[in-house]
Amino acid sequence: DLPVIHRFFGGFLAPDVRNKVAAIGNEILGHVYTFFKGQLTVALVLTVLYIVGLNIIGLPLASAVGTITGLLGVVPYLGTTVGIILSLIITLVTEPSLGHFFWVFAIFGINNILDSVYITPRFVGKSMGIHPLGVMLALIIGGQLLGLTGLILAIPSAAALRVLVKTLFVEIEKQEGEEDQEV
C-alpha cells in the first residue's frame, strides 16, 4: 500500500516539489537501511566477543549465552541484561565463586566499553556519515527524551536530521546564488 499512499499524497504537490521530497525521502531511507545493516554487523561482532570472552573464563554454555547476548544487543541494553542474568544463573548453578562472578562482570563490562566507545560509533556512525561523537550525543539525547524507544530511533533520526539540514543548506546556497546573479 505504500506506493498508493505516496501517489495519493504526492498528487497534492507540484512535480518539482514532489521530486525533491522523493529524493530526500530516498536518501533518508538509504540511511535507515545502512543503520540496520550496521546494527547487524555490530551484533555479529559482539556475538563473537561474548563467545570468546565467556569461553576464556570457562562459562558452561558460553557459545549459547554469547550468541543470545550478541544478537539481542540490537536492542540497547536488552542483550547485556539478558546475558548477565543468564551468565550469573549459570555461574551460580555450576561454580558459585566470587572470582567467577567477577570475571563474568568483567567480560560484560569490557564488551560494553568496546561497544560504546569503538564498535557502534565505527560501524554504525561511520557508515552513516555521522561522527562518533554525534552518535554518542544522539544516543544520550534519544535515551533521555524517549527512553528505550529513543535509543533505538536516535541514530536513524540523527541521520534524517543530517539529510534535512544538508538539503536546507543546499537550497539556501542555491537561493543566494540566484539572488547574486539577479543583482
**Which ranges constitute the DSSP H helices of 57-131?**
62-72, 78-94, 98-114, 120, 126-128
- At residue 125, the pLDDT reads 67
Pairwise CA distance, residues 9 & 28, whole Å:
18
Per residue in 61-105, pLDDT (tens digit) is 999 999 999 999 887 778 999 999 999 999 999 988 888 999 999
Mean of the pLDDT values across residues 127-147? Answer: 82
For residue 130, the SS3 value is coil
pTM score: 0.71
